[in-house]
Amino acid sequence: MTVADPVLYEVADGVATITLNRPEVLNSLDEPTGRALIAALRRTAGDRGARAVVLTGAGRGFCAGQDLKEPQSSLGDAIRNRYNPIVRAIRACPQPVIAAVNGVAAGAGCAFALACDLRIASAQASFVLAFAKIGLVPDSGASFFLPRLVGFGKAMELALLGGRLDAEEALRLGMVTRVVPAEELQSATLALATELAAGPYGLALIKRAMLHGAAVDLDAALEQEAYLQDLAGRSADHREARAAFTEKRPPKFTRS
Ligand code: LHQ
């Protein structure tokens, strides 16, 4: 009997797709799955063929967080060794990372979606801050991302009550960018990822500027913007965009 890969990695037309692949347990994470996800995200960061990244789940779930049937001695160690590296790897990808939320995203699975740069959801998706229901605290960056996305009051309510939000409610709160019918999730995600994959080198710097700006004071943000703008201004893609503007034609970017 062969055991299916718990995480699938595929690159096509500049888009890397990472698929959590334990559909029978709603893609919850045991140790091998966590390790494979970290490896896939790190591989993406160095993959020159991947100009945008999609994170999604096989079957009817996106990710139900920790596999609650896996025995664990120290939850702190699990968080430090498995979950925090996943979140850091998502943030460290120079490419934009899109969560294509195909179904339920619970616990750390919800936090992974929040850690991504954009979220597009199937109408069948749902979001559950499941931690309170099992006597735990928000982890995997949920306490950091959620208040920034929906405001502190709503984030506190969701964290304490752990209720399930459907896709439309998540859209209303600003947790997701778009909701599409389930059968259109793949094509809509690919269209979004392809648009990003055709973008300039500056997109990686935009990601850096926005992530930095969300966590520092104004002076630090202004200085970082100046630093990154200097890099962006020296890129071939910026020169190409200026030439294309003058020549009244669409730019052709090379990600350099
Ligand atoms: C699962 C799971 C699951 C195993 C569904 N594990 N089997 C970090 C480090 C260390 C420790 C702890 O935590 C963390 C971070 C975290 O992620 S804590 C949060 C852990 N996750 C949860 O508490 C969510 C648990 N799951 C649920 O509440 C429900 O399954 C949700 C709301 C996600 C979906 O409900 P339904 O759509 O009704 O599906 P279901 O409950 O029937 O699940 C389908 C199957 O998947 C079922 O198996 P079965 O053999 O009965 O068909 C579940 O047992 C299995 N499954 N989540 N986390």
Rounded mean pLDDT, 152-158? 97
The model's confidence at residue 163, banded by pLDDT at 50, 70 and 90, is confident
User: Is the Cβ atom of 28 under 6 angstroms away from ligand 1?
Assistant: yes
**Side chain identity at residue 222, one-letter code:** L
Quick check: 160 pLDDT over 90? yes
Question: How far does residue 67's CA lie from ligand 1's centre (Å)?
Answer: 7
Question: How far does residue 43's CA lie from ligand 1's centre (Å)?
Answer: 28
- Going from the N-terminus, what domains does the chain have, and what CATH number goes with each? 7-197 (3.90.226.10), 202-247 (1.10.12)
User: Is the Cβ atom of 69 under 6 angstroms away from ligand 1?
Assistant: yes
Give the whole-angstrom CA distance, residue 55 versus residue 53. 7
The pLDDT, as a whole number, for residue 69 is: 97
User: Is the Cβ atom of 68 under 6 angstroms away from ligand 1?
Assistant: yes
Rounded mean pLDDT, 88-114? 98
Quick check: 1 pLDDT over 70? no
- The pair phi, psi for residue 250, each rounded to 5°, is -70, 145
Rounded mean pLDDT, 130-154? 97
The pLDDT, as a whole number, for residue 35 is: 97
Rounded mean pLDDT, 66-91? 97
Rounded mean pLDDT, 150-169? 96
Whole-model pTM? 0.97
The model's confidence at residue 2, banded by pLDDT at 50, 70 and 90, is low
Give the whole-angstrom CA distance, residue 43 versus residue 20. 15
User: Is the Cβ atom of 63 under 6 angstroms away from ligand 1?
Assistant: no
Give the whole-angstrom CA distance, residue 176 versus residue 168. 9
Ligand 1, residue 109: give the atom nearest the CA: 17
Rounded mean pLDDT, 134-159? 97
Closest residue CA from atom 1 of ligand 1: 25
User: Is the Cβ atom of 79 under 6 angstroms away from ligand 1?
Assistant: yes
Query: Which residue from 26, 102, 140, 158 has its CB within 8 A of the most atoms of ligand 1, so it is best to mutate?
Result: 26
Q: Virtual CA dihedral for 74, 27, 19, 111, nearest 10 degrees?
A: -60
Give the whole-angstrom CA distance, residue 142 versus residue 193. 24
Q: Which residues contact 236 (CB under 8 A, 6 or more apart)?
A: 201, 254, 256
Ligand 1, residue 134: give the atom nearest the CA: 23
Rounded to 5°, the CA angle 141-97-119 comes to 75
Q: Enumerate the H helices of the chain as residue ranges.
A: 31-45, 75-78, 84-92, 108-115, 142-150, 152-161, 167-173, 185-197, 202-213, 218-233, 236-246
The model's confidence at residue 3, banded by pLDDT at 50, 70 and 90, is confident
What are the tens digits of pLDDT across the range 179-229? 999 999 999 999 999 999 999 999 999 999 999 999 999 999 999 999 999
